[in-house]
Every structure is written in C-alpha cells, then in structure tokens.
Amino acid sequence: MNIKKIVIATLVTTGLSISVQASDLKAADSSLATKLCVTAASGNRAAMYNQVKASGKSAQFVAKNINCNSKNILAFVEENGKNSQNMLKVLDRSSHNISITDIAKNTLEMK
C-alpha cells in the first residue's frame, strides 16, 4: 500500500514539473517574427509550415534570420518549445545543400 502511494506521488510530481517546464508563451505584439516564434514554440509542425508559407519567407530564411527574445529561432525552440526536436527538423531541413553530379555524363565529356 505504501509503495502505491509513493509511485502515485512520484507520477503526479513528475507531471507537474513537466507542465511547468512547458510554460505558455504570450505574444508581445502581432508582428510576423512574433507569430513565427510563438508557432514554433507550440510544437505544431503543420501550423509552423502554414505560418512560414503565409509569411512569404522560406524555412531557410526563417531559421537564419528570425530572432525570438534575442535568440535565433532554433535556439529559442530548443530551450522553450514543445516537441522541439521535430520542430528543429522542420526549420533546419532546408539549410543543407545537396548537389548531384552525373558521373556518366562527366566521364563521357572528358574523353
């Protein structure tokens, strides 16, 4: 019986500490950057995609140029966001450059 009470108390305490860490953010104004920051911190990937699309900016531009509370949006999401790892994938995915070289075409041109 005592073990059950301890386990329940531990679960309740853990739940409270997690909810305190993921505090709600309040927007200071209605600027584009603020909307992007609040949406990114919410952890909703679909909403973030729609917000970036509505802004007329690219995800790469947002990741490199938007600051939230004097921090880059990626650092802000990592510290304050819900579902931060998935949100970072959404924002940071387009900053990687990929190039494809046709080896067969290059070897034919050299001959």
The pLDDT of residue 10 is 67
* 38 within 8 A of 25, measured Cβ to Cβ: yes
pLDDT in tens, 13-65: 655 444 444 456 676 777 888 999 999 989 888 999 999 999 999 888 998 89
Tell me the pTM: 0.59
Please state at what angle helix 32-42 crosses helix 73-80, rounded to 10 degrees: 40
The pLDDT of residue 97 is 64
pLDDT in tens, 56-101: 998 889 988 999 988 999 899 989 888 888 888 888 765 556 677 7
What's the chain's length in residues? 111
**E strand residue ranges, 9-95:** 67-68, 71-72
* 40 within 8 A of 78, measured Cβ to Cβ: no
